[in-house]
Amino acid sequence: MAPFWRNAIHWLDEGRRGVVGVMVDPALKVLSKSGLKCEKTNFRKDLSVFVCTAYITEHLEEIQNFVAEGGGLLIGGHAWWWQKYW
């Protein structure tokens, strides 16, 4: 699975070779082994790619602007997460 993640990040990075900001530890563990410049962090505007869960509620407008201006965004989450509210 690591080659898939590495390729996805390279595609999102668009050759910038910038810092990949990662919110979640399991993703950081996989991506760090792929030779990418990864940091565990919340969203920052100076990142090349931001990796997060689909459930974040902070910085939403900033993240939307980041993507609109060419930043890479990789989001993951479970489709059944919403069920805990029913």
Give residue 3's pLDDT: 86
Chain segment 34-74, per-residue pLDDT in tens: 888 999 999 999 999 999 998 889 999 999 999 999 999 99
68, amino acid identity:
A
- What band does 83 get if pLDDT is binned at 50, 70 and 90? low
CA angle 47, 34, 15 (to 5 degrees): 45
- What band does 86 get if pLDDT is binned at 50, 70 and 90? low
Please give the Cα distance from 78 to 86 (Å, whole number).
Answer: 16
Please give the Cα distance from 41 to 51 (Å, whole number).
Answer: 9
pTM recorded for the entire structure: 0.86
CA angle 8, 13, 18 (to 5 degrees): 130
Please give the Cα distance from 72 to 9 (Å, whole number).
Answer: 8
Write out the two tokens for 22.
């990662």
